[in-house]
Amino acid sequence: MKPASSQILTINGGSSSIKFALFEAGEPLRRSLDGSIDRIGLSDATFTVKGSEKFSRALAVPNHTVAVNVLMDWLEKCSDRDALTAVGHRVVHGGPKYFEPQRITPEMVEELHGLSAFDPEHMPEEILLTEAFHHRFPELPQVACFDTAFHHDMPQVARLLPIPRRYEAQGVRRYGFHGLSYAFLIGELARVGGSEAAQGRVILAHLGNGASLAAVRHGKSMDTSMSFTPTAGVPMSTRSGDLDPGLVWYLARTEKMSAKEFNEMVNFKSGLLGVSETSSDMHDLLEHETQDARAAEAVALFCYQVKKWIGAFAAALGGLDTLVFAGGIGENAPKVRARICAGLGFLGIELEEKRNAANEGVISAAAGRVTVRVIHTDEELMIARTVCRVLGITIEKQPDHEKKNMSDSEDRS
């Protein structure tokens, strides 16, 4: 049993950022601070902390190695090192082998290096972060929380890609992502809506810089919009979402575009940014859509594609009981939610305008057959809970109703 002062550090490494949070063991787990090192590799990188200590300052961090050392130096100076009990890492891709959260070992790290080809935009940096913490704090346990885990048991028909079957043996299939967010959301849905709601026909829409949807029944993933990589599905801030595969050959012939250049385009130059030609930020686009037709078209395309996926997943589920919006756009953009839901009355989706404008927890009209909710997602808290479970870190006893509502979500994290 760990002491009540035990602290869990969560790490979420991206291609140009490191986001982190610190939790103190207890019931509930208490977030003492969170922060980020953003724009790694650029001249205007920043180090920001919010919580028990607050600051934001410019940094010179040319790469993730320098950035993680800045973070570890700061942790050693400004936190109780003896209280730091474990580190939990969000790992985007575990391939076909790794999906259960587990303690990181040298053998796992070696195999994850081999899986970097599955997600070259995220995996190398995420592995680097685990290695850096091991070298600085060799006795500190680290846990990998795989973002594909929630979707691991999707039906075979949803996992299978329609390409030559030999690639499936190499691990090429639909994996899905945002699993930590979805596991948290299902747990929260059980808490606020009851177990019957969480066990029903649910569509979860995690709409942020990265955006995806998941069809869930009996608390389990039935299908999801992202696929072998996080580039697939709906258009995102800079990712294209689904495209005609023939575009690869067309651009190779007409512009001599290489596979690497195509990957760069669809991940960092497409989506809202590519269509608007001005911004990848939904707030900016909404602000300028009345003056800029490109901005208006980017917003319209995003809403239209999300609407299509809702319709498709309602068909896959055989109907719909609950629709949940989460993520930066899903939680904070009433206009976007309204446009997505417009015309979906035939599915039983009807919004109440004032509730939606106020970002209330339930935004559906009383007459609507489908309950539409806005739920704040918390991947960092999900990671911290998972670390406690994997390492057997005991926290104070939960009230029975909270324990029941959280158990399904934590078991799938």
- More confident of the two residues 1 and 381: 381
Average pLDDT of the residues of the chain:
92
| pLDDT bucket at 112, cuts 50 / 70 / 90 | very high
Average pLDDT over residues 122-144: 95
Confidence check: pLDDT of 398 > 60: no
Residue numbers annotated as active site = 147
The per-residue DSSP string of 66-116 comes to HHHHHHHHHHHHHS-GGGEEEEEEEES--TTT--S-EE--HHHHHHHHHTG
* 243 close to 266: Cβ distance less than 8 angstroms: yes
Tens of pLDDT, residue by residue over 235-280, are 999 999 999 999 999 999 999 999 999 999 999 999 999 999 999 9
Average pLDDT over residues 48-77: 93
Q: How confident is the model at residue 14, as a pLDDT?
A: 84
Rounded to a whole number, what is the distance in angstroms from the first to the last CA of the chain? Answer: 22
Q: Which domains can be identified in the chain, with CATH numbers?
A: 7-146 (3.30.420.40), 179-374 (3.30.420.40)
Q: How confident is the model at residue 53, as a pLDDT?
A: 82
Average pLDDT over residues 306-325: 98
Q: How confident is the model at residue 115, as a pLDDT?
A: 87
Q: How confident is the model at residue 396, as a pLDDT?
A: 44
Least reliable range by pLDDT among 7-11, 57-61, 78-82, 381-385: 78-82
CA distance linking residue 107 with residue 327, whole number of Å? 34
The tokens of 299 are what? 């917003």
CA distance linking residue 152 with residue 411, whole number of Å? 13
| pLDDT bucket at 409, cuts 50 / 70 / 90 | very low
The tokens of 340 are what? 């997505």
Confidence check: pLDDT of 320 > 70: yes
| pLDDT bucket at 395, cuts 50 / 70 / 90 | low
Confidence check: pLDDT of 95 > 70: yes
CA distance linking residue 173 with residue 229, whole number of Å? 9
- Whole-number percent of the chain with pLDDT over 70: 93
- Whole-number percent of the chain with pLDDT over 90: 85
| pLDDT bucket at 405, cuts 50 / 70 / 90 | very low
Average pLDDT over residues 46-60: 92
Q: Can you give the three-state secondary structure of the chain, one letter per residue? A: CCCCCCEEEEEEECCCCEEEEEEECCCCCEEEEEEEEECCCCCCCEEEEEECCCEEEECCCCCHHHHHHHHHHHHHHHCCHHHEEEEEEEECCCCCCCCCCEECCHHHHHHHHHCHHHCCCCHHHHHHHHHHHHHHCCCCCEEEEECCHHHCCCCHHHHCCCCCHHHHHHCCCCCCCCHHHHHHHHHHHHHHHCHHHHCCEEEEEEECCCEEEEEEECCEEEEECCCCCCCCCCCCCCCCCCCCCHHHHHHHHHHCCCHHHHHHHHHHCCHHHHHHCCCCCHHHHHHHCCCCHHHHHHHHHHHHHHHHHHHHHHHHHCCCCEEEEEHHHHHHCHHHHHHHHCCCHHHCCCECHHHHHCCCCECECCCCCCEEEECCCCHHHHHHHHHHHHHCCCCCCCCHHHHHHHHHHHHCC
Pick from 207, 228, 217, 351: nearest CA to 283: 207
Answering whether pTM is above 0.95, one says no
DSSP 8-state code for residue 230: T
Least reliable range by pLDDT among 113-122, 236-245, 387-396: 387-396
Tens of pLDDT, residue by residue over 153-199, are 999 999 999 999 999 999 999 999 999 999 999 999 999 999 999 99
Confidence check: pLDDT of 402 > 70: no
